[in-house]
Amino acid sequence: MSNTDRSYLSISHVQKKFGRFTALNDISVDINKSEFVCLLGPSGCGKTTLLRIIAGLEEPSKGTIIMADKDMTNVPPAKRNFGIVFQSYALFPNLTALQNVIFGLKTKKLTQKEIKDRAREALALVDLEQVGHRYPAQLSGGQQQRVALARAVALSPDFLLLDEPLSALDAKVRERLRYEIRSIQEKLKITTIMVTHDQDEALTMADKIVVMNEAQIMQVGTPLEVYERPINAFVADFIGSINFWKNQNQEKLAIRPEHIRLAKSGGIKAQVETIEFRGPVFRVQFIVYDRNSDLNGSSIKADLTMKEVHEFHLQKGSEIHLDLSLDRILAYDA
Amino acid sequence: MKQEYAIPANTARQPFFFNRENWLKRSLLLVMLVTFLVVLVLPLMTLFVKAFQSDDGVFVGIDNFINYFQTPALVQSLQNTFFIAAMTTAISVSLAFAYAYCLVRTDIKGKTFFRYAAFLPLFAPTMMHGIALVYLFGNQGIFTNGFFGLLPAMDINLYGPVGIIIAEVIYTFPQAFMIMLVALGNSDYRLYEAAETLGVNKAKQFFTITLSNAKYGLVSAIFLVFSLSFTDYGAPKVVGGQYNVLATDIYSQVVGQQNMSMGATVGILLMIPALLAFFSDQLVNRKQSSSLSTKAIPFQVKQNRKRNALAFSFVTIITICVFLVFAAVIIAALAPGWPYNLSFNLANFQLESYTGGGFTAFKNSLLVAALSAVFGTIFTFIYAYAIEKIRKMTGLRKAGKFFSILPVAVPGLVIGISYVLFFSQPTIELFGSRFTNPFNFLYGTIGIIVLANILHFYSVAYVTATSALKKLDKEFETVSESMGVPMYKTFFKVTVPMCMPAILEMAMYFFVNSMVTISAVVFLYTAEFNLAAISIVNLDDAGNLGQAAALSVLIIITNIAVRILYELVVYWIQQRRKYKQNQLTEGMVMNE
């Protein structure tokens, strides 16, 4: 049975039904050791259910979960050796940060000193040694989430589960924590599975993204793969922005706004409809009027640099040529 | 492409992975359901079966009901009961609505005082309201004699419907008031602002916004008050005179004539309004939960002198009425010679010298109330926890939830009779087979009284526990499980400390109600083990009204003391929490 190239965590043909509702339909994913995997999808796609099945909090209706060659499908959560962090932090309000971390360590056969040392170590890992004596209510949201992370990793679990850990935080804190979680994960080399609906989070943090929709897996791949070569129209649309149109063969074509360039001549003719300033780029919406193009009459959006916008003196109503680089156009069956 | 693995041959899903934790949880839920089976389902089933049997146990179909409706005296008391309940509901709910409105929608002074004043009747047994009325309006009453001839005599014909209705209004007013307070408090000021900008006048605002917001609360209050006054035993016993109601009927059928079948029949009739209240409440709760958004803005009271003056006069009058009742009982207790000799002394409190053993009964009541509080709180909280926080076994938990709220639909008298019927029988017949009743030993002991009390007040305590538990993050248990911390450890280290105020509230509720209740225990007490509430009735029956009043005063003092103790402990807990956190924050500032 032992096979070294086999993945660390293998989810095969998992199905979950709640009554008549199918939450997961024939899900198979392989996760390697020390990998950071994001389960990404719109709300209701089944990603949280999948995480809960991996944790043992839900039982699959069909399929198996194999961890390090052992069938864990029916093993209760306590025996699976994972750490978990929730969006709500779930810190015990009547215990201090340090006591929260110690809480789980007490079940291990360790001496008082070992427990204290490991708890302090865990807090140091998230850079919160100084606030160990504070109660959760006295910590900021970001700090609370870091304590929750420390609590989860203090037990040296085999893998770490993160259920939308950053969704409750402000944009700034969120960005910092993304980086922090990822660096802790790399330091500990801990296999991590994170559920998120935020594509930026998935793209910046993950080694591997599992894109899900309507109880099914759409695509599994590196961030670059799912962004550059989305396997179907849903993935293309869900991750990043994209323009869709149809050609004569009823194929669905698509191109990302940043792959459209301006040209003095050639390409397709278009007129500026709206210009929206977005900080680093301008999002410009064009209407195509070019009888030779499949796009004739439809709108197309492009992300242009400030330099380009100035160079071409773009303003509402300007007429211009658009260059859609052929190698950037994606094609899907309609 | 994904690799295909040889899936282990034994993939047949084990229905339940065996481990201690799961075993513990499942046993807990099963024990809970067995408890409900023994204390709720089987006794009620026995009652139900009895209603369709003759006294010697032969099945007679609906003969008992036919018999009932063919007995003019019994039909009369059914009509009487309806009349009492309807009148009480109309008066009590209107007063409670107005009182709550005055406290929520005006800025009069002394709101806290008026709120507590309205709750006062909760601390007294309903017989006490009757006794007070006798002292105020009875044959020798203060009002009846026109204050010793100072005022024109005023005979309101107390004994009968008038007395019962007044007593029931006093009894049900605080309960309706509590519901109205919540219902009127749940308003969204944005609606009123919108109405103002649209130029809608105040009267129309009242009907379209205020009433419509409070309508679910009103429905709840109406059903509750109707059901309470429909099934109360204490007030009709003391001031009812010859005016019979179902509650007194059932007592005379069961205790007087030993006619268990007819007792069971009346019991089922008694349950009807309570069941209606129960189902309407379920419906209302479902609708109300979605009616108020989290963005709602609380009502902002504007200045209005005329309105305040009116509101203040109204709440003052009601409060005076409540105080009058309590004052009358205190005077009755302290002035044994009333109304001929106005000297005050403690002779009435020499309870032991009279028949009925008043003081022993009082001590028994304390014991029963304390046991009910301790065991009731423990069981209710653990069961509520099991229902709320165990992750799997949805079916068992749903059944538990249903049985937890069902007791609110069972009037005390019905609990009492069904307990007599079920626990007194040496053998139980279940699905045609007969076996010895393992719970028969409880009959005639203090145990059955405590059990009846716990069941009687279970649902309210359960709701208190559940709402406290719902406030805790539902992932506490998940996180603990992931860390391999057993459930009971999280329960004792986190859940119990966090829910302490709610736990104390439950204990206080069990205690206070066990002190004043008579309906369930009137069938269960024994000559050797009397209770204070029953002594009050017996003393009143024997004409020792002064002692009955003295005993009532003792109960009230005890209950108010327990309430104050509860408030103090909760206050202390909150202060300690604040202190702990402040101390740390200060320490931190100094470190920086």
Closest A-chain CA to B496: A94
Q: For residues A166 and A118, state if they share a domain.
A: yes
Separation CA A313–CA A301 (nearest Å): 17
Query: What is the overall mean pLDDT for chain B?
Result: 86
CB contact under 8 A, B13 and A73: yes
| Residue A188 maps to a domain | yes
Q: Phi first, then psi: what are they for A164, rounded to 5°? A: 45, 55
Q: For residues A219 and A181, state if they share a domain.
A: yes
Q: Of B409, B410, B415, B390, nearest to B400 (Cα)?
A: B390
| Residue A86 maps to a domain | yes
Residues in CB range of A78: below 8 A, 6 or more apart: B19, B21, B481, B482, B484
Rounded to the nearest angstrom, the minimum Cα separation between A82 and chain B is 6
| CATH number of the structural domain spanning residue A272 | 2.40.50.140
Residue B492: count other Cβ atoms within 10 Å of its Cβ: 10
Q: For residues A206 and A98, state if they share a domain.
A: yes
What is the predicted pLDDT for the residue at B164? 95
Separation CA B403–CA B38 (nearest Å): 12
CB B365 within 8 A of CB B532: yes
Which of A203, A234, A265 represents a domain boundary (last residue)? Answer: A234
Domain span at residue A46 reads: 9-234
Q: For residues A202 and A257, state if they share a domain.
A: no
CB A219 within 8 A of CB A230: yes
Q: Say which CATH class B28-55+351-592 falls into.
A: mainly alpha
What crossing angle do the helices spanning B72-104 and B305-334 adopt, rounded to 10°? Answer: 130
A97 CB near a chain B CB, below 8 Å? no
DSSP-assigned states of every residue in A57-101: SS--SEEEEEETTEE-TT--GGGS-EEEEETT----TTS-HHHHH
| Residue A2 maps to a domain | no
When CB atoms are compared, the residue of A57, A79, A133 closest to B478 is A57
CB contact under 8 A, A104 and B480: yes
| Radius of gyration in angstroms for the set of CA atoms belonging to chain A, rounded to a whole number | 24
Give yes or no for residue A199 having a pLDDT over 60: yes
| Residue A293 maps to a domain | yes
CB contact under 8 A, A92 and B494: yes
**H helix intervals, A206-294:** 223-228, 233-238
Which residue in A87, A92, A195 has the most chain B C-beta atoms within 10 A of its own C-beta, making it the best mutation to test that interface? A92
Query: What is the overall mean pLDDT for chain A?
Result: 90
Q: For residues A147 and A222, state if they share a domain.
A: yes
Compute, in degrees rounded to 10, the torsion defined by CA atoms B193, B196, B202, B208. Answer: -70
Which of A209, A234, A259 represents a domain boundary (last residue)? Answer: A234
The dihedral through the CA atoms of A143, A147, A153, A154 has a sign that is: positive
Which of A192, A207, A234 represents a domain boundary (last residue)? Answer: A234
The dihedral through the CA atoms of B136, B138, B142, B146 has a sign that is: positive
| Residue A161 maps to a domain | yes
Task: Tell me which residue has tokens 């700034």.
Answer: A172
A165 CB near a chain B CB, below 8 Å? no
Categorize the per-residue pLDDT at A229 as very low, low, confident or very high, splitting at 50, 70 and 90: very high
Give yes or no for residue A2 having a pLDDT over 60: no
For chain A, what is the domain count?
2
Separation CA B365–CA B370 (nearest Å): 8
- Grouping H, G, I as helix, E, B as strand and the rest as coil, residue B417 is helix
Q: Of B224, B232, B233, nearest to B274 (Cα)?
A: B224
Categorize the per-residue pLDDT at A249 as very low, low, confident or very high, splitting at 50, 70 and 90: confident
Task: Give B-chain residues touching A93 at CB under 8 angstroms.
Answer: 498
Closest A-chain CA to B478: A57
Task: Give A-chain residues touching B495 at CB under 8 angstroms.
Answer: none
Closest B-chain CA to A219: B1
Task: Give B-chain residues touching A30 at CB under 8 angstroms.
Answer: 2-3
Chain B residues with a Cβ under 8 Å from any Cβ in chain A: 2-3, 5, 7-8, 11, 13-14, 17, 19, 21-22, 391, 473, 475-476, 478-486, 493-494, 497-498, 580-581, 584-585, 588
What is the predicted pLDDT for the residue at B288? 61
Q: For residues A168 and A304, state if they share a domain.
A: no
| Residue A164 maps to a domain | yes
Q: For residues A229 and A267, state if they share a domain.
A: no
Separation CA A39–CA A198 (nearest Å): 10
A73 CB near a chain B CB, below 8 Å? yes
Rounded to the nearest angstrom, the minimum Cα separation between A258 and chain B is 31
Q: For residues A226 and A247, state if they share a domain.
A: no
Rounded to the nearest angstrom, the minimum Cα separation between A156 and chain B is 10
Q: Structure tokens of A61?
A: 């209706």
| CATH number of the structural domain spanning residue A164 | 3.40.50.300
Q: For residues A164 and A303, state if they share a domain.
A: no
Q: For residues A161 and A85, state if they share a domain.
A: yes
| Regions of chain B with pLDDT less than 70 | 1-19, 148-149, 287-296, 337-341, 351-357, 430-431, 583-592
| Residue A4 maps to a domain | no
Q: For residues A196 and A124, state if they share a domain.
A: yes
DSSP-assigned states of every residue in A301-329: EEEE-HHHHHHTT--TT-EEEEEE-GGG-
Closest B-chain CA to A153: B483
Rounded to the nearest angstrom, the minimum Cα separation between B296 and chain A is 22
Task: Tell me which residue has tokens 């938990």.
Answer: B397
Separation CA B468–CA A188 (nearest Å): 38
pTM: 0.85
CB A184 within 8 A of CB A156: no
CB contact under 8 A, B483 and A104: yes
Q: For residues A256 and A168, state if they share a domain.
A: no
Separation CA B138–CA B157 (nearest Å): 8
| Residue A56 maps to a domain | yes
ipTM for this model: 0.81
pLDDT in tens, A62-97: 999 998 888 998 888 888 889 999 988 899 998 999
